[in-house]
Amino acid sequence: MAESQSRERGTRPVGMKSMLPIIDRIAGWLLAIGALLHGYGSYLAYPSLSANLVWAWSGSVAALLLAAINLLRVNRPDDRALAWISLAGCLLWIGIVGAFAATLPNPIDPRPLYHLIVTLVLAALSLRTALRR
């Protein structure tokens, strides 16, 4: 009944399938925000232009680029090659995040956990796009 009423008004019922691009965009922007926060935190933690700061910023740049690839993928749902590239980037980032977490006294530290959860979501959605026919 509600579905027929929504069709009469010209609106679609909201389902999980229509929510996935929104979730995908949110996850992409969350990764971008995490990358920017990583860069800012690195700036506060390391001396100006030290080797550690430059190296930490390289991780921020990598996360920003991965976020950009994922946000681009959301807007190009038929580009399977981009989805595979996005998936590969996500899997590599998950490996880097896991390796970093293993170096910490608390492996479930919120910093790598944030990146892990967001990137797992992006990896799953990238795989879904890549396998779509």
b vs e for 78-88, b when ≥16 Cβ sit within 10 Å of the residue's Cβ?
eeeebbbbbbe
User: Are the C-beta atoms of 86 and 70 separated by less than 8 Å?
Assistant: yes
Phi first, then psi, for residue 52 (nearest 5°) are -65, -40
Tens digits of residue pLDDT in 9-54: 556 556 777 899 999 999 999 999 999 999 999 999 999 989 999 9
3-state secondary structure of 49: coil
- Residue 79 to residue 132: CA distance in whole angstroms: 10
Phi first, then psi, for residue 132 (nearest 5°) are -65, 140
Tens digits of residue pLDDT in 64-111: 999 999 999 999 999 999 999 999 999 999 999 999 999 999 989 999
Predicted confidence at residue 78, as pLDDT, reads: 95
When comparing pLDDT for 86 and 8, which is higher?
Answer: 86
